[in-house]
């Protein structure tokens, strides 16, 4: 579903910032993965490129068999609208629109009639257990409910992939677990899902953790190796105690 080869990204400026330094990454259809790493390591930059919200400078990004490279804003928006559902830490709901209107918004941009998009939005809200909240404003909803509205909005275009940037970052731990349950359920239904998080508890609920450090993916072999080193040290300590 996702193939990145040697992807680089530099933010220009008086002091240009080389944020992604050769990302190689493959995510298969139907995977549920998390991307973890320290603050400033490039997680959001990577996710924004995956979501065609931002361009990269060199390398190759193939999404669902399409090469994503040098797209104009219209082409990018069109692909985004059809292929990708995005979920954000701060929900990004429109404050003066009720839940139905928020969820239906991507369909407005696809030219779907008001009647049809509202019916589809109600259906998605129902799926999220929010039917009774359909005509409430975001300010009348709890954090977990707001995030479920945002997930319903992400799903309404029937995307090929869901990308979530710290989706539990603004939620307490109990609500985080509820939101992760929804992502796991969607994944069980076949949705390819990529979640950026700094919460190890959230990472542990995904099926694969991709670690990023200073703009590079840490190869699994290195993670396994350092784990082995730790195990060896433990064994050494034990043998010292024994002798
Ligand atoms: P993370 O999500 O892992 O915390 P980001 O991808 O947001 O990291 O940021 C990586 C680095 O790039 C940080 O040093 C950040 O300040 C910088 N950065 C992020 N976005 C921009 C931007 N639009 N312009 C310039 N620098 C940016
Ligand atoms: Mg970030």
Q: How far is the CA of 166 from the centre of ligand 2 (A)?
A: 7
- pLDDT tens profile 34-86: 999 999 999 999 999 999 999 999 999 999 999 999 888 899 998 998 899 99
Distance CA 159, CA 154 (A): 8
Which pLDDT does position 219 carry in this prediction?
85
Q: How far is the CA of 206 from the centre of ligand 1 (A)?
A: 24
Which pLDDT does position 220 carry in this prediction?
78
173: Cβ–Cβ under 8 A, 6 or more apart, which residues? Answer: 201
Q: How far is the CA of 234 from the centre of ligand 2 (A)?
A: 35
* Tokens 């400078």 -> residue: 57
Tell which residue, 195, 236, 199, 204, has the closest CA to residue 31.
Answer: 195
- Cβ–ligand 1 contact at 74 (below 6 Å): no
Least confident of 120-124, 158-162, 163-167, 229-233: 229-233
Which pLDDT does position 176 carry in this prediction?
95
- Cβ–ligand 1 contact at 144 (below 6 Å): no
Nearest CA to ligand 1 atom 14: 40
- pLDDT tens profile 168-199: 999 999 999 999 999 999 999 999 999 999 99
Check if the beta carbon of residue 85 is closer than 8 Å to that of residue 157. yes
Q: HSE, CB side, 13 Å, CA atoms: give it for residue 77.
A: 7
Q: In the structure, what pLDDT confidence band is assigned to residue 224 with cuts at 50, 70 and 90?
A: low
Distance CA 25, CA 46 (A): 11
Average pLDDT taken over every residue of the chain: 91
Nearest CA to ligand 1 atom 17: 40
Query: Phi and psi for 191 in degrees, rounded to 5?
Result: -70, 130
Q: How far is the CA of 125 from the centre of ligand 1 (A)?
A: 33
Which pLDDT does position 238 carry in this prediction?
47
Q: Which ligand is nearest to the CA of 39?
A: 1
Which pLDDT does position 242 carry in this prediction?
46
Q: Which ligand is nearest to the CA of 12?
A: 1
- Domains belonging to the chain, first-starting first, are 30-56+72-226 (3.40.50.300)
- Cβ–ligand 1 contact at 41 (below 6 Å): yes
Task: Write out the DSSP string of 185-238.
Answer: HHHHTT-EEEEE-S-HHHHHTSSEEEEEETTEEPPHHHHHHHHHHHHHHHHHHH
- Cβ–ligand 1 contact at 43 (below 6 Å): yes
> How many CB atoms neighbour CB 139 within 10 A?
9
Q: Which ligand is nearest to the CA of 38?
A: 1
Q: Is the dihedral of CA 208, 43, 146, 98 positive or negative?
A: negative
Q: How far is the CA of 88 from the centre of ligand 2 (A)?
A: 10
Which pLDDT does position 2 carry in this prediction?
97
Distances in Å between the Cα of 76 and the Cα atoms of 84, 90, 209 are 11, 23, 28
Q: How far is the CA of 36 from the centre of ligand 2 (A)?
A: 10
- pTM for this predicted structure: 0.89
Average of pLDDT values for 126-141?
Answer: 97
- Candidate from 9, 11, 55, 197 with most ligand 1 atoms within 8 A of CB, to mutate: 11
Distance CA 154, CA 83 (A): 10
* pLDDT of 28 above 90: yes
From first CA to last CA, the distance across the chain in angstroms is: 54
* pLDDT of 243 above 50: no
Which pLDDT does position 62 carry in this prediction?
97
Q: Give this complex's ipTM.
A: 0.98
Helix/strand/coil percentages in the chain, nearest 5 = 45, 25, 35
Check if the beta carbon of residue 200 is closer than 8 Å to that of residue 173. no
């Amino acid at each position: 579903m996702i193939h990145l080869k040697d992807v680089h990204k530099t933010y220009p400026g008086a002091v240009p910032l080389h944020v992604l330094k050769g990302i190689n990454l493959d995510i298969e259809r139907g995977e549920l993965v998390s991307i973890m790493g320290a603050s400033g390591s490039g997680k959001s930059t990577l996710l924004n490129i995956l979501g065609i919200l931002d361009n990269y400078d060199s390398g190759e990004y193939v999404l669902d068999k399409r090469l994503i490279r040098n797209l104009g804003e219209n082409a990018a928006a069109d692909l985004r609208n059809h292929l990708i559902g995005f979920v954000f830490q701060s929900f990004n709901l429109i404050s003066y629109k009720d839940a139905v209107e928020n969820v239906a918004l991507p369909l407005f941009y696809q030219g779907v009639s008001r009647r049809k998009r509202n019916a589809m939005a109600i259906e998605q809200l129902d799926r999220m257990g929010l039917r009774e909240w359909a005509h409430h404003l975001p300010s009348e909803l709890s954090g977990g409910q707001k995030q479920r509205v945002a997930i319903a909005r992400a799903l309404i275009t029937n995307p090929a992939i869901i990308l979530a940037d710290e989706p539990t970052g603004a939620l307490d731990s109990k609500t985080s677990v509820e939101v992760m349950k929804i992502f796991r359920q969607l994944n069980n239904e076949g949705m390819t899902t990529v979640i950026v998080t700094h919460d190890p508890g959230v990472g542990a609920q995904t099926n694969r953790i991709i670690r990023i450090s200073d703009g590079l993916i840490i190869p699994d072999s290195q993670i396994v190796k350092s784990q082995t080193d730790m195990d060896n040290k433990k064994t050494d300590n034990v043998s010292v105690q024994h002798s």
